[in-house]
Amino acid sequence: MNPFAAGGWGTRSGMAPSIFGALPTTTIANAKTMQPDSVLYKFTNCNTTILNCNIAGPQGRTVYRVVTESGAPSSTIFKDNDNRNVAMVNWQPNAHVEIRGVASRQRVRDWLRLSADQSKRVVQVAGIEYAWSPIEGFICLYKLQSSAPRVLARIGRAQDVTLEITQEAMQLGLLEACLVATVLLTCGHNVD
């Protein structure tokens, strides 16, 4: 199910859920061109779903793994290179998320909440509100309360799902929150 489906946007029968075009377009600076020092992460080796994949960093080296264990199909765990749990999503009975050092255990719909006008998903990290909105073929992250918002990260989809994140976003401690949001926004599960 499309995570933006709460607004009534469904999928055509027989087609995979779309992450693009699900919400109205917003104009934000640099959606099509990111800063030259941005870092690209690719979600690769998906085993039928992004809920089982590797996340490759800029040199193509796996830096995180997303694992949905067969013994606990209702949980998805994000692990770093040292095999430490970085984040976890429990899918049943309602989706809950927890991200080490970023978000205590809470419902996904509260952490990645749909805005009142249903045009974006709002997330709070370190006391600052950010929004994920579809813009020019990407799902883009920007500071919500900004007079001149610019894209800090963007999710794309070609052969693999990608997350491109700026150095500014990395310094703000947004990397792991963005990786988890990427999976939640592209996995097809209902997050509400």
105-147 tens-digit pLDDT: 999 999 999 999 999 999 999 999 999 999 888 999 999 988 7
What percent of the chain clears pLDDT 70, i.e. is strictly above it? 80
Measure the CA–CA gap between 103 and 126, rounded to whole angstroms. Answer: 9
Region for 21 from its dihedrals, namely left if φ exceeds 0, alpha if ψ lies in -120 to 50, beta otherwise: left
In the chain, which ranges are continuous DSSP H helix?
108-111, 167-171, 175-186
CATH number of the structural domain spanning residue 106? 2.40.160
Tell me if 9 is assigned to some domain.
Answer: no
CB 164 within 8 A of CB 34: yes
- pLDDT band at residue 152, thresholds of 50, 70 and 90? very high
In a domain, 10, yes or no: no
Q: Could you give the number of structural domains in the chain?
A: 1
Would 5 be classed as within a structural domain?
Answer: no
Judge whether residue 19 has pLDDT over 90: no
pTM, full prediction: 0.81
Answer yes or no: is pLDDT of 5 > 50.
no
Tell me whether residue 69 is in a domain.
Answer: yes
Which residues lie below 8 Å from residue 90, measured CB to CB, with a gap of 6+? 74, 75, 96
Indicate whether 51 belongs to any domain. yes
Residue 11 within a domain: no
Parent domain of 174: 28-186
Q: Is residue 19 part of a domain?
A: no
pLDDT at residue number 149: 82
Does residue 162 surpass a pLDDT of 50?
yes
Q: What is the pLDDT at residue 6? A: 41
- For 80-108, the pLDDT digits (tens) are 999 999 999 998 888 999 999 999 999 99
For residue 20, being part of any structural domain is answered with no
List pLDDT tens digits, range 31-75. Answer: 556 667 899 999 999 877 899 999 999 889 999 999 997 666 689
